[in-house]
Amino acid sequence: MKFRYFSFFLILVFFTLATSCKSNTKIIEGIVGVINDEIILLTELDNHIIQSQKNTNLDKDKNQFLKELMDLKILEIQGKKMGIIVTNEKLEEIISEIIKNNGEEKFNEELTKSNRNLYRLKFELTIQMLQENISRIVLKNKIIISEKEIEKYYEKNIGSIKKQNLIRMLSMSAKDKEFIDEILDIFNNREDTLDVKLAKLAERGYIKDKPKDLGYVNPKELSSTIYDEIINSKIEEVVGPIKIQDEASFFIILDKTYSDASFLLAREDIKNTIYKNKSIKLLDSWFSDLRKSMYISQRL
């Protein structure tokens, strides 16, 4: 009977000690954040703070550091669903490439100047790469920009569009008049693309300088000699030789349109601006919905 009581006492003591140890472990390894089935431990947060502040003057409170870790966890969870994983090997490869291109001394200077250390750089690169790759998938084929939108933006922010007949062309000169026939032979070959034709001209030394893009011009503003030659020409057709300042000059027609030269010059930048604005709105909405779809608990 005594033995039974003694055994029960040992079991009770063991259970009490185990419970106590488990309780202490919870304090040491306390959970400070939960995202779906993923957890962030207090030790992870403490390590993130120490590594982030090491050799830097980074000034953030504990909640801000926790938010960083939770944001990263959200991106990692979504990234895995899309097959996007950022490995340490990939980060090392990127950093090695940066050092190779800029030199280690310059690299370290930039780290210090931007108030970062290697840990912070890797952390921020991970978030950036996840965001960019997820965004690329989210935005794919979802943003359409019409010509009307681009014109409306131009007229609202830059000026009125005054349309006229325009021609975009390249100009070049033969290195020697002896090469005129060779230049024309290359352009008469219908099997080659324009890029191939231009490459052959350069390789064989038939032209004086690299062809110059004249942009969009009103043909009426050109000399009567050039106007008469190009007005009825077709796209990718060569016009010439035309004698200009004792040189045999050629013109290659790249495009014909009815528009405004200043508008066409600004068009691509406007399109990029509209795309960026639409992207920000769409991504903000998408990431907001993503957060709502997840169980997120901050326990600091």
**Tokens 């509209």 sit at which residue?**
274
pLDDT bracket for residue 17 (50, 70, 90):
very low
* Same domain, yes or no: 131 and 171: no
**CA-CA distances (angstroms) from residue 214 to 163, 207, 210?**
18, 17, 12
CB atoms within 10 A of CB 225: 11
Q: Is residue 288 part of a domain?
A: no
Hey, is 257 helix, strand or coil? strand
Angle at which helices 42-53 and 62-81 cross, to 10° = 110
Give the whole-angstrom CA distance, residue 200 versus residue 146.
Answer: 38
The CATH number of the domain holding residue 107 is: 1.10.4030.10
Give the whole-angstrom CA distance, residue 261 versus residue 217.
Answer: 7
Give the whole-angstrom CA distance, residue 275 versus residue 93.
Answer: 31
Cβ-contact 33, 298 below 8 angstroms: yes
* Same domain, yes or no: 182 and 135: no
CB atoms within 10 A of CB 78: 19
The domain tally of the chain equals: 2
* Same domain, yes or no: 7 and 119: yes
pLDDT tens-digit map of 130-165: 999 999 999 998 999 999 999 999 999 999 999 999
Q: Is residue 273 part of a domain?
A: no
Q: Is residue 254 part of a domain?
A: yes
Q: Is residue 145 part of a domain?
A: no
Beta-bridge partner residues of 224:
none
pLDDT tens-digit map of 266-297: 999 999 999 999 999 999 999 999 999 999 99
* Same domain, yes or no: 132 and 224: no
Question: Is pLDDT at 15 greater than 80 in this prediction?
Answer: no
* Same domain, yes or no: 23 and 133: yes
* Same domain, yes or no: 85 and 184: no
Q: Is residue 150 part of a domain?
A: no
Question: Is pLDDT at 195 greater than 90 in this prediction?
Answer: yes
* Same domain, yes or no: 44 and 116: yes
Q: Is residue 35 part of a domain?
A: yes
Hey, is 275 helix, strand or coil? helix
Q: Among the three residues 108, 140, 172, which one is the final residue of a domain in this structure?
A: 140
Cα 265 from chain centre: 23
- Phi and psi torsions of 260, nearest 5°: -115, 125
* Same domain, yes or no: 171 and 122: no
Question: Is pLDDT at 1 greater than 50 in this prediction?
Answer: no
Hey, is 184 helix, strand or coil? helix
Beta-bridge partner residues of 31:
41
Q: Among the three residues 225, 244, 259, which one is the final residue of a domain in this structure?
A: 259
Two structure tokens written together for 163: 């349309």
Question: Is pLDDT at 26 greater than 60 in this prediction?
Answer: no
* Same domain, yes or no: 41 and 75: yes
Quote the pLDDT of residue 300.
Answer: 79
* Same domain, yes or no: 118 and 192: no
* Same domain, yes or no: 130 and 180: no
The CATH number of the domain holding residue 191 is: 3.10.50.40
Cβ-contact 179, 288 below 8 angstroms: no
- Mean of the per-residue pLDDT values of the chain: 88
Two structure tokens written together for 79: 């990234």
Mean pLDDT calculated for residue range 37-54: 94
Quote the pLDDT of residue 12.
Answer: 34
Q: Is residue 284 part of a domain?
A: no
> Which domain does 205 fall in, by range?
164-259
pLDDT bracket for residue 190 (50, 70, 90):
confident
